[in-house]
Amino acid sequence: MVRCGPRNTAVPAAGLTMRGRPAFHLMVVTDRHRLTEALQASPSEVLPCLVAQMTGALRGGADLVYLREPDLSVRDVLHVMESVIERVPDGRRRLLVRDRVDVAATLDVGVHLPEQGMRVGQALALRDRETGGPVVGRSVHTPQSAADSRGATYLVAGTVKATPSKPGLTQPLGLQGLGAICDAAGETPVLGVGGLGADDINDLRRVGAQGIAGIGLFIPTRICTNVTEWTIQRLKDVRQCMGLVKYPG
């Protein structure tokens, strides 16, 4: 069950804002270690669990699905992404790989840059200029990083609240820090990340963020027999709680 705060005003699914900028509200971010621990999965089930989760995320209406697995081999990244694309062919442009612009180009998917990785301008220069290329996003933790990242398709800012994904974090960004990043980002859409739930959306929007990027939000709290179907239902519940209209895909 998803906790909801006060009723949220309905907003469109991913598309274009009135200013012509992409509208992103929900990003599913993977963490295979937390996912397989929650599912009590065996080592041989790790990659199938990732594929199932990402497939459900696309079918359930996630605007972006980010394979954030820094220690996963390129071979396994290709296997997971190709398996997901095979299951949801029209979801390709909502998929993201971490850091590797070359792998993203091979798959014709988007790329998400870590703050200390390739600069946004470099990544943009490498994408297909004729078609506009896939999504190029970046993680940021300071207003200066946000200002330096203008031109990105979107930014993910955090860590907003304490979260199991960042066990050593002593001082979360908080809403005030997130608001400063949103101001520095200009018209680039910003998603908050870190310990957030659907009931936080009003606070996020108030400081200028467009939506939520979540890891734990999309990991089952108990063992489920069908990860894809669980994720689809989870996305539907979260979207409804956030006041998002039905996803058109």
Reported as a single tens digit per residue, the pLDDT across 108-121 is 999 999 999 999 99
Report how far residue 35's alpha carbon sits from residue 97's, in angstroms, rounded to the nearest whole number.
18
Local confidence band at 16 (pLDDT 50, 70, 90 cut-offs): very low
CB atoms within 10 A of CB 131: 8
85 in any annotated domain: yes
Q: Number of structural domains, the chain?
A: 1
Q: CA-CA distance, 163 to 168, in Å (whole number)? A: 9
Q: What average pLDDT does the segment 157-173 reach?
A: 84
246 part of a folded domain: no
Within a domain: 249: no
Task: Calculate what percentage of the chain has a pLDDT beyond 70.
Answer: 87
Range of the domain at 151: 23-241
Angle at 50 between CA 47 and CA 54, to 5 degrees: 145
Domain-embedded: residue 2:
no
Find all residues with CB under 8 Å of 140, minimum gap 6, and list them.
115, 146, 149, 155, 156, 157, 181, 185
Entry field: residues in the chain: 249
**The pLDDT of residue 84 is above 70:** yes
Is 30 within a domain?
Answer: yes
Q: Is the pLDDT of residue 17 over 60?
A: no
Which pLDDT does position 4 carry in this prediction? 57
1-10, 210-219, 238-247, range with the lowest pLDDT: 1-10
Task: Specify if 175 maps to a domain.
Answer: yes
pLDDT value of residue 150: 86
Write down the pLDDT at residue 100.
Answer: 93
Residue 170, phi then psi, degrees to nearest 5 = -100, -25
CATH number of 216's domain? 3.20.20.70
Is residue 7, in this structure, part of any structural domain at all? Answer: no
Residue 130 has pLDDT above 90, yes or no: no
Is the pTM higher than 0.85? The answer reads: yes
> Is 16 contained in some domain?
no
CA distance 107 to 158: 28
